Amino acid sequence: MRSITPIRGCVPRPVCPRPRVWEADVQGPFWWRTLLKLPGRSMQQDRARLLRRLAGRFPARVVDAIAQTPREDMVPPEYRDLAYRDGPLRIGHGQTISQPTMVAIMTEAIDPQPWERVLEVGAGSGYQAAVLARLAAHVVTVERVPELAQLAARQLDALGYADRVTVREAGGILGCPEEAPFDAIIVSAAAPSPPRALLDQLTPGGRLLVPVGSRKEQRLLLLTRTPEGHTTRFCGECRFVPLIGPGGWPEEDPA
């Protein structure tokens, strides 16, 4: 599950002080203005340019994790040359791999530590999990589309992440309670409210990062579990694909 439409970056708050940033809609004209291959631009040049931009806005450990993760090996072959343009790319089944800036925003906000275990809801092609695995002790990522779960597992294994990332096909329960508790959870799809089932899968002091709102517009929220319940920080307005199933919307709901 991947975000696919314009997003506005985080407001200036301590948790994730980001300026405005846009994530292109893969169907719309902004997609073509952003990602259309320009003459004389190689993938290596795109990569260097992207990393320079990220280095000016994000912590070094986040930028290093993105730099060490080969995005070109986690996109369809027809989009390989566009791997380091700062926009989402289609990966099939109506899903996308998120733009690198969005991956940086979410990774910085959740702030995974080397001793922590992280859960990702929405594996997609495995890119976000690979970035997280560079920073955390272990990542469990779940995906509701069987074909994408298999793709993510194959790609992560081929890139040497098998010992750091576990890929699971999502069942009828949100998250992965059999592997809980987790120190941090990232949700790459929009929920109508913070899912209680995921908060229950956190350690004390654990963090949940989730887009919350309607199917069309959301707020990216960082919730931290406390003895009294949880605290909440606002990390910006965003637009993600809807979370389908437990904690989200029914697939057939058109609203």
What residue ranges define each of the domains in the chain, with the CATH number in brackets? 29-238 (3.40.50.150)
Clarify whether 98 is annotated catalytic. Answer: yes
Say which of 3, 42, 98, 214 is annotated catalytic: 98
Per-residue pLDDT of the chain (255 residues; tens, 9 = 90+): 444 443 344 433 334 444 343 343 333 444 444 444 555 578 999 999 999 999 999 999 999 999 999 999 999 999 999 999 998 898 988 888 888 998 999 999 999 999 999 999 999 999 999 999 999 999 999 999 999 999 999 999 999 999 999 999 988 889 999 999 999 999 998 999 999 999 999 999 999 999 999 988 899 999 999 999 999 999 988 878 888 888 888 876 444
Cα–Cα distance for residue pair 15/105, rounded to 1 Å = 10
